[in-house]
Amino acid sequence: MALKSILDAIETVNRGLGKGASWCALAMMLFQMASVLFRYVFSYGLITFQEAVIYCHAILFLLGAAYVLQINQHVRVDILYNLMSAKLRRSVDLVGLLFYILPVACVIGWVGFPYVARAWATLEGSRQAGGLPAIYLLKTAIVVFAASLALQALATAIRLVQGSANKAWSGPGETSSSENGQV
């Protein structure tokens, strides 16, 4: 029961991060439109808006990645996956989660933490005059990305082993045991 609560908490946080990050797509579009308007209509460039587009783009991907994994909407480059049995698909998913996604997320966190710590130590800001002053906050998203992706990979792997993965991880014609009332 405690494990289920932990897994649910991980997925709730990642769902919140993902849905929050999705708003960055709208913000990115609005900043880009405003940047173009100011530049080509008023002949006035705004570095702040250009950097805001970059920040939104980065946050969209970094904070949305774990949620995309949670709902099983990540990119697959596997033409045979849908032809596999449910048991083989689950095995392929487990190998991918535990031996690819988890180690990569851990390496990104390991390498990224000192990078982010240095940015915080100096309260790093933009090198451009008029740029956004909080690059250290943006760089923090790298560590959040690594942690959320690693935790989501673990949570999904545990749920796959338990047979309680959400509907998104059930293949065609397959139901998860959580849909059958089992956990």
| pLDDT for residue 90 is more than 70 | yes
Region label for 26, one of left (φ > 0), alpha (ψ between -120 and 50) or beta (otherwise) = alpha
pLDDT band at 129 (very low <50, low <70, confident <90, very high): confident
How long, in residues, is the chain? 183
pLDDT band at 164 (very low <50, low <70, confident <90, very high): confident
Give pLDDT, residue 96.
92
C-alpha distance from residue 109 to each of 71, 90, 152 (Å): 22, 26, 14
Check: CB of residue 67 under 8 Å from CB of residue 168: no
pTM: 0.85
Give pLDDT, residue 130.
84
More confident residue, 178 or 83: 83
**174 belongs to a structural domain:** no
**161 belongs to a structural domain:** yes
Question: Which of 169, 180, 181, 1 minimizes the C-alpha distance to 86?
Answer: 169
Give pLDDT, residue 131.
85
| pLDDT for residue 28 is more than 70 | yes
Share of the chain above pLDDT 70, in %: 90
**163 belongs to a structural domain:** yes
Q: Which two tokens stand for residue 142?
A: 């790298």
Please, what is the angle between helix 102-122 and helix 135-162, to 10°? 160
**44 belongs to a structural domain:** yes
SS3 at position 73: coil
Q: State mean pLDDT over 64-84.
A: 86
C-alpha distance from residue 151 to each of 42, 65, 120, 140, 162 (Å): 47, 12, 24, 17, 16
pLDDT band at 172 (very low <50, low <70, confident <90, very high): low
Share of the chain above pLDDT 90, in %: 68
Give pLDDT, residue 178.
44
Q: What amino acid occupies position 171?
A: G
**176 belongs to a structural domain:** no
What average pLDDT does the chain have?
A: 88
Give pLDDT, residue 173.
52
**128 belongs to a structural domain:** yes
**76 belongs to a structural domain:** yes
| Structural domain boundaries enclosing 61 | 2-168
* Residue 120 C-beta-side C-alpha neighbours within 13 Å: 12
**Number of domains the chain is built from:** 1
**177 belongs to a structural domain:** no
The Cα–Cα gap between 131 and 93 comes to: 42
